[in-house]
Structure 1
Amino acid sequence: MSDQTPQYGSQQQPPAQPGYPQQPGYQQPGYPQQSPYQQPGYQQQYGQPVYQQTVVYTSYQPQPKGFSITSLVLGIASVLFGFTFLVPIGAVIFGIVGIRREPTAKGMSITGLILGAVMLVGWIILLVLWLSLAFWAVGAASVYGTTS
């Protein structure tokens, strides 16, 4: 046997073929190649395990905020268009549903709920005042009515 036989696991480079220059990073097929990304301090020595870092990619999943945005828009609309009665009721309903189902948009739900509730209470107070004024007018007309 010859002393020139290569050992398994040794990394011997074959001689470059005449006429063709050896390109960096290129290795002929059939020969082991060292990774260009391998760092010298992280090689396995003395049977110790090699630890590799695992990269985890996560993506941001936006939470739905439809009820909360609807509550806020209806609450603002009930302040701007105060002559409506159904808009504050919608703001209150969507605000309650938004608080329960969408915890990430709680601020918008609470704002819409408060604006809708304030306008709803304002409508109730105005309705009570109109009814009391109407009863007072009917009562005054019957007491001070015309006598013939």
Structure 2
Amino acid sequence: MGPRILVLNGPNLNMLGVRQPEVYGDNSYADVVDVCAAAAAARGASVEVRQTNDEAELLGWIHDVARTRNFSAIVINPAAWTHTSVAIADALVIPEIPIIEVHISNVHARESFRHHSYVSPIAAAVIAGCGLAGYRYGVDRAVDLSGA
């Protein structure tokens, strides 16, 4: 069996296709899951995709990976927590596996508060502005970095 990639999504991503389609496009969260699954399958990997609007739940998932070490890499779209959560950044170093940061929109072309990321300094790669293809690129890069 190939690498196992965990894809984590933060707040409001469950509202894709409804929330600001001019920024995030018309695709749904189910489309994110499908893109990630197809990208992993194409590389002989498996993927588990999760979304939460609860920061504590996201931290718990990261801590679980740290304890079990059954994933090869994490692809994460922290959404708004990108710009606010030191706790998530701190948690992401615990598993000691590659972290790939993904954003659907180009956060650097948006409001100035979105230009800073607490996750980027610990990420092996940052992908922004590619729409849902960013998830495909993120999973692909995660597989590359997993040593498979």
TM over 0.5: no
Q: How would you bin the TM-score normalised by the shorter chain?
A: under 0.3
TM-score, L = length of structure 2: 0.21
TM-score, L = length of structure 1: 0.21
Q: Whose radius of gyration is greater, 1 or 2?
A: 1
